[in-house]
Amino acid sequence: MIIKDPDTIPEFTYEISPDTADMRQITCIALAKEMKVGWNVGNSLEATGGETSWGNPLISKTLIDSVKAAGFNAVRIPVAWSKFSDASTFTIQTTWLKRVGEVVNYVLDNNMYAIVNIHWDGGWMQPTYASQEYVNNRLSLMWKQIATYFRDYNDHLLFAGTNEVMVKNDYNAPTREYYTVQNSFNQTFVTTVRATGGRNAYRHLVVQDSIPI
């Protein structure tokens, strides 16, 4: 993964004016160095059947406090949103946004970094030309809601656009088509988040590196 640096902010028609409050003038490299040791709270909020459907209990404040006490200072929070979204409009239920926000608050209240994403989520992000328009539209609709909900959070919250994007049953190196389409997903994510304005105009963003090395 690489972090999209907000140092050069392109021109957008912002929903609200950009806000630098609690958004330090810090490069992505400097911020990454502050994230000394990270921990992934997996198989929970990204479980496609609901938070406990993969066998884990609900994420609690006690758990995150214990993670902090163990010496971690960054928590990755993978999230599947579709089970809690309207299938036709992709409108995310407010109760689910609040639940994700509750977990984010557990992390930030401990002065740690939190990273929230749209995870595999059932595999609807197929990086093909045939699916490109559909996926970009859905990504835009969903990230606008997520980014708006968390817009007032400080720079200890980062967004990650996508994760585990692959063509179903194809475990080979990505083709030119796959990484070209994935890069369009990355751009949709960045553009959508930035356009919500406020602190999101400066938030550090994580994008999935899709070009073979």
Name the residue among 156, 155, 146 with its Cα closest to residue 192.
146
pLDDT higher for 41 or 9? 41
pLDDT band at 10 (very low <50, low <70, confident <90, very high): low
pLDDT of residue 11: 62
Domains and CATH numbers, the chain: 2-207 (3.20.20.80)
pLDDT of residue 1: 39
What share of residues in the chain are helix, strand, coil (percent, to 5)?
35, 10, 50
pLDDT of residue 209: 73
pLDDT of residue 211: 57
Average pLDDT score over the chain: 93
**Strand pairing partners for 127?**
none
**Tens-place pLDDT, residues 86-130:** 999 999 999 999 999 999 999 999 999 999 999 999 999 999 999
Quote the tokens at residue 117: 């994403």
The DSSP bridge pattern shows strands 38-40 and 157-160 to be unpaired
pLDDT of residue 208: 81
Name the residue among 137, 142, 125, 138 with its Cα closest to residue 178.
125
pLDDT higher for 138 or 13? 138
Average pLDDT of 8-22? 82
